[in-house]
């Protein structure tokens, strides 16, 4: 067992007005907001979020009703971030319940049974509107594709979650540009998703996921549409940027290379966790 610890200790910070009002869960959890700095120079030394643990117990999920229903999750217990920031790969064959688990943990789907505790609140008991706001304020998401609005520029796509949180535009723009710069997209602010390569688009998605300082990032096959070299580079960036900010990462993947880059691998089969192992090697993000 190798409990992963990042090299620097968490830096609690007061809630920053740029992120809007903290969610109820954040208010209950104390000083969890950790604002990103406003300009490019400081973006490399961003304060990190206080680690938060997500704990799910007895998750049951059915699709459909009656005899035609599918049992997607069968009493799953799962925890992430209990011993500090970590990167967890969720693997398993198609139809094993990987994406269902991610959707339930992130509050996208409500389980039929079980609880998902995050910052002292049960996400499974929240109403739809509260879960949507929680996803925006506390979590980040990276999907295989389609998370960028094609009409908006790279910087505007990254600005969207901040504008939704009522951040003033100028401030949102500075932060978005700073984040893109930190991810190596300094000259791409005005490019639209259609003008970016697959790897560049995924880096914009990572910037969008991290710009609000989430406590937990969910990624669903983030490198699935990329070639091997680009995928490795994107994954390195995703794990490093997430863990170095004190957040944890849950990655659903088919790719063993992705799993190897994480600190822990959970395997699902037929809606049941069949193995949960920590890796001996240090994760990509811990080297810094």
Partner 1 sequence: MIAVKLWGRFLRSTGLRATDVLAIVAFAFATAAALLVGGGILAFWNRTLADPSDYVSNNTAVLSLVAGALLLPAIWTLSQSAVRLAITRRDARLAALRLVGATRGQVAGMTVLDTLLQTVSGVVLGIGLYYALVPAVSLLPFGGAAFAGQELLLPIGYVGLVVAAVLSIALVSAISSLVAVSLSPLGVAQRTKGAKPNLIRIALLVVVAGVWIAVTQFAGLVPANFMTEQGWMIFMLVMMTMMGVAIAVIGPLVVWFIAFLFAAGARSAQTLIAARTILDDPRSSFNTVGPLALGVMAGGLASLASMFNGVEDGDQMLTDLTIGAMLTVAIAGVLGAVFAGVSQSARILDRGDAFRSQHLMGMETGVLVSSTMRGAVIPVATLIGTSVAGTLLLMLPFMGFLAGNATPVLVWLGIVVAAVALIMLATWISTLLLPRVTRVA
Binding site residues, partner 1, CB under 8 A: 63, 100, 103, 106, 108-109, 129, 132-137, 139-141, 143, 145-152, 156, 159-161, 163-164, 168-169, 208-209
Considering the complex, state which of residue 10 and residue 222 has its C-beta at the smaller distance from partner 1. 222
Considering the complex, state which of residue 144 and residue 278 has its C-beta at the smaller distance from partner 1. 144
The conformation of residue 230, written as its DSSP 8-state character, comes to H
Considering the complex, state which of residue 116 and residue 134 has its C-beta at the smaller distance from partner 1. 134
Q: Tokens 């697959």 belong to which residue?
A: 198
Task: Identify the bridge partners of residue 91 per DSSP, sorted by sequence position.
Answer: 267
CB 279, min distance to partner 1, A: 28
Tokens linked to 101: 């688990």
CB 267 within 8 A of CB 273: yes
CB 110, min distance to partner 1, A: 11
CB 159, min distance to partner 1, A: 8
Residue 202 makes CB contacts below 8 A (sequence gap 6+) with: 142, 222, 223, 226, 234
CB 50, min distance to partner 1, A: 20
CB 71, min distance to partner 1, A: 14
Considering the complex, state which of residue 187 and residue 194 has its C-beta at the smaller distance from partner 1. 194
- 216-220 vs 139-142, strand pairing mode: parallel
CB 212, min distance to partner 1, A: 9
Considering the complex, state which of residue 226 and residue 284 has its C-beta at the smaller distance from partner 1. 226
CB 90, min distance to partner 1, A: 16
Considering the complex, state which of residue 86 and residue 220 has its C-beta at the smaller distance from partner 1. 220
**Where is 264: in which H helix or E strand?**
strand 264-269
d(C-alpha 200, C-alpha 59), whole Å: 36
What are the distances in angstroms from CA 82 to CA 70, 130, 171, 241? 31, 24, 33, 19
Alpha helices in the chain (DSSP H): 24-28, 98-105, 128-138, 154-164, 169-182, 198-210, 228-244, 256-260
Reduced to 3 states (helix: H, G, I; strand: E, B; else coil), residue 151 is: coil
Considering the complex, state which of residue 105 and residue 284 has its C-beta at the smaller distance from partner 1. 105
């Amino acid at each position: 067992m190798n409990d992963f610890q990042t090299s620097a200790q968490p830096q609690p910070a007061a809630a920053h007005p740029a992120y809007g009002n903290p969610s109820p869960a954040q208010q209950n959890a104390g000083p969890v907001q950790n604002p990103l700095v406003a300009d490019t120079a400081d973006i490399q030394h961003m304060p990190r979020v206080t680690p938060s643990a997500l704990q799910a117990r007895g998750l049951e999920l059915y699709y459909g009703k009656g005899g035609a229903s599918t049992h997607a999750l069968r009493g799953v217990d799962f925890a992430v971030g209990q011993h500090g920031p970590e990167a967890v790969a969720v693997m398993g064959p198609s139809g094993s319940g990987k994406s269902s688990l991610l959707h339930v943990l992130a509050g996208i789907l409500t389980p039929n049974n079980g609880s998902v505790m995050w910052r002292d609140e049960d996400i499974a008991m929240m109403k739809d509107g509260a879960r949507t706001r929680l996803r925006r304020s506390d979590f980040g998401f990276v999907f295989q594709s389609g998370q960028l609005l094609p009409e908006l520029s790279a910087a505007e796509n990254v600005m969207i979650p901040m504008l939704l949180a009522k951040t003033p535009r100028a401030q949102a723009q500075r932060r978005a540009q700073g984040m893109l710069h930190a991810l190596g997209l300094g000259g791409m602010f005005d490019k639209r998703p259609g003008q970016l390569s697959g790897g560049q688009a995924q880096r914009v998605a990572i910037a969008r996921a991290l710009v609000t300082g989430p406590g937990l990032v969910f990624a669903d096959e983030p490198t699935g549409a990329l070639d091997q070299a680009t995928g490795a580079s994107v994954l390195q960036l995703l794990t490093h940027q997430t863990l170095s900010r004190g957040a944890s990462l849950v990655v659903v993947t088919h790719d063993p290379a992705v799993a190897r880059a994480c600190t822990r691998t959970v395997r699902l089969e037929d809606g049941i966790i069949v193995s949960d192992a920590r890796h001996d090697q240090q994760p990509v993000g811990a080297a810094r």
